[in-house]
């Protein structure tokens, strides 16, 4: 991502410097939402959502942290003595990680992950970042690639949102538009804004457990369990294993 497009990275850098502000998410139908996620991006383990903390019990071996953001997962795993590589397509986020002490972090979008990074035992995709799979077709391509990049005991620990619990008419109308387009209902096209900066438009995918199982079919992965949030009934972490 170009520096003049890195609204997300600029927002996290500002939060790190004590100047937090809301993250503005703009959807392609004109829907706009402001959320203050900076506290989660930079939070120590004890302040993580409970379902995130529980899910970390399933992280083992050499780890790839996809969409590492402010580096919270990397820092926690380093404290546990695990080897972890963090990647993010945001140069600003990578700078935040480096300033906070992440030992191995790289500017790398999810679609550029390849064997040059080595072999991993666990791939962590937190912060609703299953969204980075973007679409049904891209998700299946990436899942097959992740299968080739992981050990025999390889595991994916990934967070997403089940969009079907909403009764918001704006979201329900968007789901219907997606169905008519032949897209998954939870596939959104968005961009992030911060002050005068804005990212390019990108697709972001949210799936129910049933939809996730459908995506996994034929990729060499299976859904082993889900860990639901006790605060937000639509968020969950999927523990995905080979087999």
Quick: pLDDT tens for 121-171: 999 999 999 999 999 999 999 999 999 999 999 999 999 999 998 999 999
Residue 112 has pLDDT above 90, yes or no: yes
Q: What is the mean pLDDT of residues 204-221?
A: 97
- Which pLDDT tens digit goes with each residue over 91-110? 999 999 999 999 999 999 99
Q: Which of 67, 70, 76 is nearest to 17 (CA)?
A: 70
Write down the pLDDT at residue 22.
86
> Got the DSSP string for 170-206?
HHHHHHHHHHHHTS-TTEEEEEEEETTEEPPPEEEE-
Question: What span, in angstroms and rounded, lies between the C-alpha atoms of 66 and 129?
Answer: 8
Q: How many CA atoms lie within 13 A of 73 on its CB side?
A: 32
Asked whether 193 and 3 are in contact (CB, 8 A), the reply is no
- Which pLDDT tens digit goes with each residue over 5-46? 999 999 999 999 999 888 899 999 999 999 877 778 999 999
DSSP 4: G
For helices 7-16 and 91-100, what crossing angle results, to 10°?
Answer: 20
Structural domain count of the chain: 1
Domain that holds residue 70: 3-242
Write down the pLDDT at residue 72.
97
Question: What span, in angstroms and rounded, lies between the C-alpha atoms of 124 and 65?
Answer: 5
Question: What span, in angstroms and rounded, lies between the C-alpha atoms of 220 and 102?
Answer: 31
Q: What is the mean pLDDT of residues 233-241?
A: 94
Question: What span, in angstroms and rounded, lies between the C-alpha atoms of 31 and 167?
Answer: 15
Q: What is the mean pLDDT of residues 189-204?
A: 95
- The mean pLDDT of the chain is 95
Alpha helix locations (H) across 4-154? 7-16, 38-41, 50-55, 72-79, 91-100, 136-148
| CATH number of the domain that residue 201 is part of | 3.40.50.150
Question: What span, in angstroms and rounded, lies between the C-alpha atoms of 7 and 233?
Answer: 29
- Which pLDDT tens digit goes with each residue over 47-85? 999 999 999 999 999 999 999 999 999 999 999 999 999
Residue 233 has pLDDT above 80, yes or no: no
Asked whether 242 and 167 are in contact (CB, 8 A), the reply is no
Q: How much is the pTM?
A: 0.96
Residue 87 has pLDDT above 80, yes or no: yes
Residue 230 has pLDDT above 90, yes or no: no
Q: Which of 47, 138, 142 is nearest to 70 (CA)?
A: 47
Asked whether 79 and 92 are in contact (CB, 8 A), the reply is no
């Amino acid at each position: 991502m170009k520096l003049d497009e890195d609204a997300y990275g600029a927002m996290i850098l500002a939060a790190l410097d004590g100047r937090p502000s809301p993250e503005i998410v703009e959807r392609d139908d004109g829907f706009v939402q402001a959320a203050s996620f900076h506290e989660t991006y930079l939070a120590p383990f004890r302040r993580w959502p409970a379902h995130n903390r529980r899910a970390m019990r399933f992280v083992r071996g050499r780890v790839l942290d996809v969409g590492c953001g402010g580096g919270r997962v990397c820092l926690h795993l380093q404290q546990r003595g695990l080897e972890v590589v963090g990647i993010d397509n945001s140069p600003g986020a990578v700078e935040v990680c480096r300033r906070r002490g992440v030992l191995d972090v790289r500017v790398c979008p999810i679609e550029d992950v390849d064997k040059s990074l080595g072999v991993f035992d666990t791939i962590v995709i937190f912060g609703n970042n299953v969204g980075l799979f973007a679409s049904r077709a891209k998700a299946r391509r990436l899942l097959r690639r992740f299968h080739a990049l992981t050990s025999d005991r390889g595991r994916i620990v990934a967070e997403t949102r089940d969009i079907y619990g909403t009764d918001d008419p704006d979201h329900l109308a968007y789901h219907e538009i997606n169905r008519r387009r032949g897209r998954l209902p939870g596939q959104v096209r968005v961009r992030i804004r911060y002050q005068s900066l804005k990212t390019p438009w990108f697709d972001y995918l949210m799936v129910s457990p049933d939809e996730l199982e459908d995506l996994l079919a034929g990729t060499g992965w299976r859904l082993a369990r889900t860990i639901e949030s006790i605060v937000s009934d639509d968020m969950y972490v999927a523990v995905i294993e080979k087999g």
